[in-house]
Chains A and B, each alone.
Chain A
């Protein structure tokens, strides 16, 4: 799959002549940091090329006709109105192209659904309007905290300059080790939310009363940002997701620090109380 899509990606980049640098995805999907996101990125580029070729073909013919077959240029209308061979061809060829598209997509769907044997399992709970995280299994088991947007109100209302991570920053980010399979269980407390980190190729609805799951394995350390992706009420635009992918040592240190915090502190603030401050703030 990889070696077939690579040339396609470069062709797509050449054709579109996109000025975007690798880190700054202004015209394309965000730079992938997981295998799944990479497959999605490759598939998208590949499909873009196929669509572009068909587009140029069909509209090349159409615009040729628009410019040549004009009455003002003395064109006289032909009278044909069917041609079985042509009609069969343009039914069968698209089917073959679609089969070519469906094959890699099927493999990716199956890979995305394979949440077995995770190294760490984290439950993400959507609240109106913040996220709660429980580290259920693996290193860090027992860590739990709430995570709400940390962008100050003055920035939103125009009283202060907007930071680089405006609306995409939180007080307590999710921390995970690099290269480990992380399984995310999603659920919600009130309405449907969706846990989405574009660079991971992960978007999973969080449904109240039900548990769904998804997974990712981040290949690169860094901070990755996303949003709640399902309309969930008035602060829907203000419940970001921030994931820090760190080395194994940093992760161990973070877990130790969290354990200490949890031992000294009482339980984290009740969701309702925090939710009301979030909406007031």
Chain B
């Protein structure tokens, strides 16, 4: 603890601008982590408003709220904002706050670059959201930005391309920072295989980011030059191929799916052992499973393209490779259940969200396995079944894990306990409304309702009505989270250094709230 009091003192002496300049110039991992988290929550609410507008239009058959053109802009921007604005930055926020605390480092390896990787995001977000207001509106080509439709779009598309470039640079810098921090700045004695699993999952995720963000940048740059500079990468009349775009995009896009879920696995792997008061089952196999998922994720991209007319051999290869991912994913689920088995469990909000994650994410895993079967996928591709599937893994998966982590570490971040009762209400509202929203979508997709349509046949009306009601319930439930966090920052019961009885790890050895500077002298891990 002497290291900590020393660092407190140091913090008071540091020369620091105050007010807005503090936040603009900060190189402190905790400040930057907080900014990432706040930014991602704002984007989450923006993307949520778009989702609710979509669900309002789909409340009943017929066109009532928006016109088809604007509807397509909403589905596109909802996807882009949630993926690049909400989920990814939220995980980077967790990485910033927690990785130095968990490995006993004083800060991130490249503190100035860290500042820059955050401050690239607000301009990118402004470009994305601002594109609604340019002539022609935002891009309406779907978040996948398939050519040649994206080549047809107005200038909103150019703004999106630019935004994707900026966010990509930000992600790459953030990822390099995380890799270097983890590999070089671990406290003495903390070998890689002693590292908390959250750090492992982020280390692997960071490599994925470095590998695939440049691929996305390449794909959108080719669209840009097709649009404005006379190239024909994706235009058959000029010797190009529209399907090439899909290959390049999904070579990025499938690892991207794991970029959004591996850190979630990491959070859940911290939370479940804490509240089961029992060490994580199969730590080593968790690490290997994470690594195999990451490697396999490079070999499955064309399972998004089974309807493009791949040759039989291609369909079979991508089908087998995709099915194989079920194995390491299954190992993880079994490990979490085995961790809970014969534990001594309590169910505070972080644990509720982790168990909720496990239950609902696994349902998304099953529909993923069903979609892996090429002939079935050909029926379900681009239907509401797929919409249900990826919301089960992205909302009930990534988002629930983020909530779990937020409740878990809020006492460390703010120094106060959050309101447990409100937290539990937030969980139960979220999981109930989530299922009311997305479960019926499986039936819609099976029965033949395509995705990305503003209007539908009345035979789909009742399930759409249900989904819309659920969506509004889910959306408003998230305001409870906002209330909990605001309340927790303002005050509340003082949190101990280790507020959770079963918690283990270096982050719980520093006081709550974590002092501005921690581990200036590295702790020793035995």
A binding-site residues for B, Cβ under 8 Å: 25-30, 36-37, 39-40, 43-44, 47-48, 51, 54-55, 58-59, 61-62, 65-66, 69-72, 75-83, 86-87, 90-91, 94-95, 98, 101-102, 105-106, 108-110, 112-113, 155-158, 162, 164-168, 190-192, 194, 196, 198, 201-205, 207-210, 212-214, 226-238
| A-side contacts of B338, CB under 8 Å | 83, 86
Of B81-89, B176-184, B322-330, B405-413, the one contacting chain A is B322-330
Decide yes or no: A201 and B379 within 8 Å by CB, A66-B355, A69-B341, A234-B140 being known contacts. yes
B62 with A157: CB separation less than 8 A: yes
A10, B517: Cα distance in complex, Å: 64
A71 with B378: CB separation less than 8 A: no
* A/B interface sample: 23 pairs, CB < 8 A: A28-B446, A37-B379, A39-B375, A51-B366, A65-B337, A65-B340, A65-B343, A66-B345, A69-B344, A69-B345, A70-B346, A79-B279, A81-B282, A106-B319, A109-B375, A112-B375, A165-B457, A166-B458, A191-B242, A198-B448, A205-B308, A233-B152, A237-B452
Using CB atoms, name the residue of chain B closest to A54.
Answer: B366
Partner of B279, one of A28, A39, A81, A227: A81
| B-side contacts of A109, CB under 8 Å | 312, 315-316, 319, 374-375
Using CB atoms, name the residue of chain B closest to A74.
Answer: B344
| A-side contacts of B312, CB under 8 Å | 109-110, 113
Most-contacted residue by chain B among A91, A164, A168, A238 (CB, 10 A)? A91
B455 with A167: CB separation less than 8 A: yes
A30 with B448: CB separation less than 8 A: yes
Digit string of B446-462 for contact with A (CB within 8 Å is 1, else 0)? 11101011111111000
B342 with A65: CB separation less than 8 A: yes
Decide yes or no: A65 and B62 within 8 Å by CB, A55-B362, A77-B276, A230-B382 being known contacts. no
Q: Which of B495-514 contact A (CB under 8 A)?
A: 502
Using CB atoms, name the residue of chain B closest to A40.
Answer: B375
Q: How large is the interface on B (under 10, 10 to 19, 20 to 34, 35 or more residues)?
A: 35 or more
B382 with A105: CB separation less than 8 A: no
| B-side contacts of A168, CB under 8 Å | 457
Decide yes or no: A87 and B235 within 8 Å by CB, A25-B447, A156-B63 being known contacts. no
Q: Which of B41-73 contact A (CB under 8 A)?
A: 61-64, 67-69, 72
| A-side contacts of B67, CB under 8 Å | 234
B343 with A44: CB separation less than 8 A: no
The 5 closest A-B pairs by CB, nearest first: A209-B236, A237-B453, A212-B309, A78-B342, A77-B344
Q: Which of B363-418 contact A (CB under 8 A)?
A: 363, 366, 369-370, 373-376, 378-379, 381-383
A47, B370: Cα distance in complex, Å: 7
Q: Secondary structure of the A side of the interface?
A: mixed
B335 → A minimal CB distance (Å): 8
A162 with B61: CB separation less than 8 A: yes
B229 → A minimal CB distance (Å): 20
Q: Which of B108-159 contact A (CB under 8 A)?
A: 140-142, 146, 148-149, 152
A230 → B minimal CB distance (Å): 6
| B-side contacts of A110, CB under 8 Å | 312
A65 with B341: CB separation less than 8 A: yes
B39 → A minimal CB distance (Å): 29
B458 with A229: CB separation less than 8 A: no
Partner of A29, one of B277, B340, B379: B379
B369 with A105: CB separation less than 8 A: no
| B-side contacts of A47, CB under 8 Å | 369-370, 373, 376
B278 with A44: CB separation less than 8 A: no
A112, B307: Cα distance in complex, Å: 11
A59 with B359: CB separation less than 8 A: yes
A229, B378: Cα distance in complex, Å: 11
A71, B351: Cα distance in complex, Å: 13
Digit string of B151-195 for contact with A (CB within 8 Å is 1, else 0)? 010000000000000000000000000000000000000000000
A227 → B minimal CB distance (Å): 5
A26 with B443: CB separation less than 8 A: yes
| B-side contacts of A72, CB under 8 Å | 346
